[in-house]
Amino acid sequence: MPSTPKTDLGDFKGSNMGANTPRISGFAITYNSGEILKTCLRSLRFVDELIVVDKSLTDGTPSVAEAYADKVISVPWSPLPTETRSTADEACSHDFILYLDHDECLSVEGIH
């Protein structure tokens, strides 16, 4: 199957990155979030690495996540958010980490 580019990254991702600019990992944790996840992930398109940790099996969330994220990790559902955040944190490879819930997004002002 041919590789397709990630959605909506365009020239924005890393466009202001100099050699000494810190790199940022971003992650979102999802549970049956499907279409609403798109808004969250679009607002994180500026990060250098985007990870989605998915706790759902009953909707199309993994397909949505794969269109935007560099990594999609499926984990069993757990009522304890600390376990899931720990999994996401360990998957991040950069020093700075930005976390959003699947129903949150950054505004343009927040990004700048």
68-85 confidence digits (pLDDT tens): 999 999 998 888 888 889
Structure confidence at residue 51 (pLDDT): 97
Is the pLDDT at 11 greater than 50, yes or no? no
Q: Residue 17 has what pLDDT? A: 54
Other CB atoms within 10 Å distance of the CB of residue 87: 17
CATH class entry, domain 24-111:
alpha beta
Please say if the pLDDT value at position 8 is more than 60.
no
How distant, in Å, are the alpha carbons of 22, 23, 41, 43, 83 from that of 14? 11, 9, 15, 14, 30
